[in-house]
Structure 1
Amino acid sequence: MWDLSHASVCNNRKRVAFQWISKFVIYSTIYVQCSSTVQMTVDPPSNVQIKDLGNLGILEIMWQPPASMNNTSKCTARYELTHQVVNEERWKSVRTKYQTYKEAFDLGKNVVIKIRTYLKGPCTEENEVWSEWVEIRYPVPLQGTPESKVTNFKCINDKYETLKCEWNAGALGNKSNYELQYWQEGMSQKKTCTHYMTLNEINTGCDFGSEEFELFSDLFICITGNPGMNLIRSSYFIFQLQNIGKPGIPENLTASMTPSDDLVLDWKEPKGKIPAHCLQYEIQFKDQINIWQTVAQQRENTYSFKRSTTSNTCVRVRGKANKYCSDDGYWSEWSSEMCWKELTTYLELKWLYCVVAVIIILTGLCIATSMYTVRKRRQWSKKLQCKAKELVYEIDPGHNIKC
């Protein structure tokens, strides 16, 4: 019994000693790695500059490597930039080995960009180290009063063919009016709207007419004041045309019956430049309650109803760009209504016309047959009368016979 207890105590001591040795090795390794990492430092990029390229929102950020890079030529340097995404609340982070970076910004707000250096290689014992952030602010010159800015700015790419933008005017002086400028990649320089929509002689919209724009490419718009007039606070907008598209109305909505007595709706794609595979459709119906209800959203241009659910029902369809071709967009106007009750009445009238036609034909045949029968009877009657008169003549030759 004593031997077993002694062996157990020895094993516990060995286990505890092994645990302490293991901890010592692990902590020593971590300490060495941390010490080597801490000893290596890197400076942030130097001489950071921001340049406005004059394209209503495109800024170019340029910088130089940190001064300490002269002693770390064997290491690879990369740079990380972070900034707020246009029209969103989130921030975007980009890593690059180059010393220039272009991005779109909302110039109606102060632009804030952060940048730092990443270093990795033999000089850091293959550990990645980084510098502190450097924050650069690009102050946008704000002119005019905030009340002079436009409000409720909205653009619609109608049928993906014509672009129109509208807005509400702010508080303007007697010698002020709005001017819309726009630019898209591929243009040599920014352009100015040539066809304005006005209200009380104030520009409140722009019809771009036959101007052609590229889908899936940022369009930059600035609404500012006319040169030489009182200053107006500028407003900047950036969007892509496929995200503001409004398809045409689905055409030729028709209905047909299947052998199983179901109602099948069918329609044609709306006119315009939007491809058929980029469309989705919403189908609505209403019954005796007279409240429209959505029954389906789908990409096909046909839909089947069960007759039991379509008694006295009207349906309609509209279209919109689907998520595979657009981040957003507008629904088209509703198609003309197709009503099941009207369709049933039409079918009943069709059968009624057929029955009436058959009755008229049969009636005509009966009348013709009756007239033919009556005529034949008259002919036979005359023949019988003549035969009777001939018999009388034979009996009485002096009797005059006229047939």
Structure 2
Amino acid sequence: MWNINDASLSNSMKSPSLQWVSRIVIYSTLYLQCSSTVQMTVGPPSNIHIKDLGTLGLLEITWQPPASMNNTSECPPRYELTHQVVNEERWKSVRVWHKTYRDAFDLGKNVVIKMRTYLKGPCTEEKEVWSEWVEMNYPAPLQGTPESKVKDFKCINEKYETLKCEWKAGELGSRSNYELQFWQAEMSQKKTCTNYITLNEINIGCDFRREKFEFFSDLFICVSGTPGTDPIQPSYFIFQLQNIGKPGIPENLTMTRGTSDDIVVEWTKPMGRLPAHCMEYEIQSKNRMNTWQTVAMREENKYSFNTSKLCVRVRGRASMYCANDGYWSEWSTEVCWSEPSFRLPWLYCVVAVIMAGLCVAVCMYTVKKKRQWSKKLQYKAKELVYDIDPGHNPKC
């Protein structure tokens, strides 16, 4: 009886109508499972505000969770924020849990900030859910004409001790002049340059002299117009001192003969605040009639040559381990090497020995002659005495 029922059940499962019903049930189940995760959506951050902190480039962005989110205990939202990096073409992207973010921006340009919400957790069945991007703009100030801005702005940190910034003047009104303000995180408030570099009574630079700045900390600078005069469109700059440093000239460049008949070139680190492990050097050499050629880039203050009759010079800058950029120092005074001639000292020695021998011979000859003349004078004196007094018999 069991065999009969099994056979009938097998035949019924092979009927076309029952196969279609089975397919519909399976596909419906899969669709419901997929749709349950797809239907989970999230909105972008709300109430986004951008605030200028009055420090010449530091902005603070605040926001609130998406308005559609009521219960976030199972799935606390994260936020992704992206914006363009100062002085670069690339964009920076960060993810944060909190609802505030600070960073440096070039306020001389329109600041564009994009944000979206990110969810992952039990509420999304551990799947990633993203909101749409929302974009915020912080417009640049519209004062002064673009032609009034400074041009070719450049700062150099000489020997990593003294900062100096210079620029070229734009098109100014008869009553206009430039003013430089600066700020760093260690300062309680922004400051104004007190020692300007001028040309025809127009400020074209600032010598910071004894102003102390911190390495690895953003320095914010704004060059705009002096208060009460015709407006000048401001220019904003952000950099770190280790990236604009120019070390001093490498010192005490010497060349000596090594143990393997090679020529060893050595020098000492230039004076300044930059540590020795942060320096790298470029070594150039040439024969006496050739042009300079770079032979090595080294972090040590020593290099060996397997040739002679050459001239060498060295310069230095901050290495990639301590700075993203920087200026090369001036070249050191060149030092040249040539093989010493060993024949000339031997010739001097031979001549000296011969001269000494001649001097000794002359001295001996002179002493001998003096003795002979002395004896002759004694005989003459005796003969003279005998002639005067024949009876006197002098002793010999």
TM-score normalised to the size of structure 2?
Answer: 0.84
Task: Label 1:117 to 1:150 Cα distance change in 2 as closer, same or farther (>3 A).
Answer: same
- Establish whether residue 322 from structure 1 lines up as the match of residue 319 from structure 2: yes
SS in 2 for 1:294: strand
For the structure 1 residues 322 and 147, does the alpha-carbon distance in structure 2 shift closer, same or farther, using more than 3 Å as the test?
Answer: same
SS of the residue 1:360 aligns to = helix
Q: 1:26 to 1:238 in 2, by over 3 A?
A: farther
Task: Provide the residue aligned with 1:14 in structure 2.
Answer: none
The CA deviation at 1:38 is: 1.8
1:341-360 pair list within 5 angstroms: 341=338, 344=339, 347-348=340-341, 352=344, 355-356=347-348, 359-360=351-352
Deviation at 1:378, TM superposition (A): 5.3
SS in 2 for 1:277: helix
Question: After superposition, what is the alpha-carbon deviation per residue over 1:69-127, rounded to whole angstroms, capped at 9, x for unaligned?
Answer: 11444222111111111111111111111011111111011011111111222222222
1:253-277 deviations in whole A, cap 9, x for unaligned?
1111124332211111101111111
Q: Give the aligned residue type for 2:118.
A: Y
CA contact (8 A) 1:157 1:164 kept: yes
In the other structure, the counterpart of 1:366 is 358
Q: Is the 8 A contact 1:37 1:129 kept in 2?
A: no
Aligned to 2:151: 151
- Counterparts of 1:28 and 1:286, CA distance in 2: 82
Distance 1:186 1:31, change over 3 A: farther
Q: Deviations over 1:320-354 (max 9, x none)?
A: 1111111110010111110124xx4xx44x97467
Bigger Cα displacement from structure 2, 190-199 vs 74-83 = 74-83
Q: 1:95 to 1:355 in 2, by over 3 A?
A: same
Corresponding residue of 1:11 = none
Q: Aligned residue pairs: how many?
A: 368
Measure how far apart 1:34 and its partner are: 3.6
- Match runs of 1:14-33 below 5 Å: 31=31
State the alpha-carbon separation in 2 of the partners of residues 98 and 26 from structure 1: 44
SS in structure 1 at match of 2:238 = strand
Percent identity between matched residues is 66
Shift in Å, 1:52: 0.4
**CA RMSD, Structure 1 to Structure 2 (Å):** 3.1
Q: Which residue of 2 aligns with 1:86?
A: 86
Q: Is the 8 A contact 2:288 2:311 kept in 1?
A: no
Residue matched to 2:181: 181
The structure in which a higher percent of residues are helix is 1
Structure 2, unpaired ranges of 5+: 1-22
Q: Distance in 1 between matches of 2:335 and 2:202?
A: 43
| Alignment-derived partner of residue 336 in structure 2 | 339
**Which residue does the alignment assign to 2:240?**
240
- When normalised by structure 1's length, the TM-score is 0.83
Deviations 1:289-308 (A, max 9, x none): 4311101110111111123x
Output the CA distance in 2 between the equivalents of 1:85 and 1:217. 16
> Mind listing any 5+ residue stretches in structure 1 that lack a counterpart?
1-22
Aligned equivalents of 1:383, 1:89: Cα separation in 2: 110
